[in-house]
Amino acid sequence: MRVGTKHDPDEGAANQWYHPRCLDSLLQETLSSMNGYSDLTDAQRKAVEDIVEKKKRRIKLKAEGRESEEPDYFTKTVKDLKEELERRNMWIDKERPRKEDYVSLLEKDDAAGGDGVTFRGKKPPPQKPKRTTSRKKKVESDAESDEEKQKKVKGPDQIKFEELRDQLDKHSDAELIKMLKKNGQRVTAKDHKEFVRRVTDGKLFGALPPCPKCGEGPLRVVYASKYGHNGQGTWSCPGYLEEGTNKHVSCSFTSDNVKRPPWKD
């Protein structure tokens, strides 16, 4: 339903049409004297009269410095109207709804009690059940395949080292120190991981022997790679502290292969 303002046809201007809510000049008009008003149905006439009465109430309240309790939906944007419908769990029964469709639905719901309890538009199509089970299985399958891929990438030396390291990690520092002392190894370390690493290395490749040159210094070895070295690398002696004087005595021993005594369990 539209309300039009008629212009002089001699000036070449056509009628301009408005929503009844948008035409403030309706407030100054006698509705029954308007052309076409008598052709409206009772429901249509009542709708126009209600709009006029609402406008008058809002203007009066605004002049008194008060706000109307009735929301003026036509002053809101379509986005705001959509959000209000969603909040009330309501939907429009049209593929391409217009602004007045949103407004009409909200006003009907207000009249029926509000908050979408009594009046609702078309409900959305039922949602498809979530396939959480199959998705979960796929994720687990992907995780397992990644684990298998990792195992394939790891060499046998790495797998063997990590399995033994994980077993020894369950031991206390005191137990690990006891193993190192039994094999004549250094027993000072910065943390638990270092104790575990030394014992793992000794069990796999043998103990670190004393220097064959000076007979005193504890040999050290630097591996060329983390795995696959078979316990051999660049060997050197850091020297030792002379007994009695506590003076450091240097040693020039180096080698790329040293016989390692077997580890005592």
Q: What is the pTM of this model?
A: 0.43
CB under 8 Å to 81, separation ≥6 — which residues? 73, 99, 102, 103, 106
What was the pLDDT predicted at 81? 78
pLDDT (tens digit, 0 to 9) for every residue of the chain, 265 residues total? 555 555 555 554 445 554 555 555 544 556 666 666 677 777 777 777 777 677 676 666 667 665 555 566 667 787 887 887 777 777 676 667 777 777 777 777 666 555 544 444 544 555 556 565 556 555 555 555 565 665 557 888 899 999 999 999 999 999 999 999 999 998 888 889 999 999 999 999 999 999 999 998 889 999 999 888 999 999 999 999 888 888 999 999 999 999 999 999 8
Q: Is the dihedral of CA 220, 224, 227, 229 positive or negative?
A: negative
What pLDDT, on a 0 to 100 scale, did the predictor assign at position 3? 57
Contacts of residue 186, defined as CB under 8 A and 6 or more positions apart, other chains included, come to 180, 198, 218
pLDDT value of position 118: 41
d(CA 128, CA 134): 14
Do the Cβ atoms of 92 and 121 come closer than 8 Å? yes
* Predicted local confidence at residue 122, as pLDDT: 46
The rounded distance, in Å, linking the Cα atoms of 25 and 22 is 9
Rounded to 5°, angle at Cα 232 from 175 and 261: 50
> pLDDT value at position 250?
92
Contacts of 158 (CB under 8 A, 6+ apart): 226, 227
Task: Give which of 58, 59, 34, 56 is closest to 45, Cα–Cα.
Answer: 34
- Residues 120 and 92: their CA atoms lie apart, in Å, by 9
With H, G, I as helix, E, B as strand and everything else as coil, classify residue 240: strand
User: Does residue 230 come out as left (phi exceeding 0), alpha (psi in the -120 to 50 range) or beta?
Assistant: left
User: In the 3-class helix/strand/coil scheme, how is 16-52 assigned residue by residue?
Assistant: EEECHHHCHHHHHCCHHHCCCHHHCCHHHHHHHHHHH
